[in-house]
Amino acid sequence: MLRLSKDKYKPEIDTERFEEVLLKCIDRGLLILGESPRKAIYYHLEKRERVKREEIPEKLDEFVEGLRAIFGSGSFLIEKSIVQELFKELEIPPPREESNDLVESLNYVVNVLARKSRGKG
């Protein structure tokens, strides 16, 4: 599960801003399929998984499960596209061992942001 700042020993990360960036990157990542398919994915996720677009940051596991239910192993291409958008948007270098798993990659991003935040303090 994604944790942004629940641990009192970790620096705070602006969760609202991070969620906005995440949704923007998900939108762009889904565009590899086109605008109409992106709208259809959001529709099916809301109907099947009960995950509205704006709820994705809080229901990330359900979002990923929904993508995998729709696309099977092909969902990893979509997840990879989202992850690449996130690295680009936040100017974070990808890890040495890249992962196509969205949740795993988001945990990496949060850790990098936490380290950057600590460096500032």
Question: What is the model's pLDDT at position 5?
Answer: 45
d(CA 104, CA 74): 17
Question: What is the model's pLDDT at position 33?
Answer: 94
CA 4 to chain centre: 12
Secondary structure letter of residue 49 according to DSSP: I
Average pLDDT rounded to a whole number, residues 24-40: 96
C-beta separation of 55 from 104 below 8 A: no
For residue 26, what are its two tokens?
């998900």
Residue 57: what residue type? P
Query: Could you tell me which CATH class the domain 15-120 is placed in?
Result: mainly alpha
Look up the pTM and report it.
0.82
d(CA 104, CA 106): 5
Q: How far is CA 107 from CA 12, 23, 50, 95, in A?
A: 15, 16, 23, 11
Q: What is the pLDDT of residues 3-13, one digit of tens each?
A: 444 444 444 56
Return mean pLDDT, the chain.
Answer: 85
Residue closest to 91 by CA, chosen among 69, 109, 104: 109
Q: What is the pLDDT of residues 47-67, one digit of tens each?
A: 998 999 999 999 999 999 999
15-24, 25-34, 49-58, 107-116: segment of lowest average pLDDT:
107-116
Structural domain boundaries in the chain: 15-120
